[in-house]
Amino acid sequence: MVPNGERRSTRRLAKGERGIWQRRFWEHLILDEDNLQRHVDYIHFNPVKHGYVQRAADWRYSSLHREISRGLVGKDWAVEDGGGGRWGE
């Protein structure tokens, strides 16, 4: 159990919510390898989706760099006509 003590807003206190969980979180059971890969791809693409970078590989904090260094995908992964691999193959 995580001990109480984190800062909580009035709204969270009123709802009895803890401050350790992200709101709008949803649980999902990974069904198979393909489903896992789709979720990983979704996470890798989020910085592009939200306009932080032009290419997923430009997000310096991404675990996508491990896949690029292993040769699993190219630097142009998820770039339209970039030929970088998996996304929308």
pLDDT one-digit tens code per residue, 31-65: 999 999 999 999 999 999 999 999 999 999 999 99
**Of 20, 50, 61, 69, catalytic:** 61
CA dist., res. 8 & res. 2, Å (int): 14
- Catalogue the long-range contacts made by 82-88 (C-beta closer than 8 Å, 24 or more residues apart): 82/55, 86/37, 86/41, 87/41, 87/45
pTM higher than 0.85 for the full model? no
For residue 52, indicate whether it is catalytic.
no
Average pLDDT score, the chain: 85
Q: 44 and 36 in contact (C-beta within 8 Å)?
A: no
Q: How far, in whole angstroms, is CA 5 from its chain's centroid?
A: 28
Is the pLDDT confidence value at 25 over 50?
yes
Please name each of the domains of the chain with its CATH number: 29-89 (3.30.70.1290)
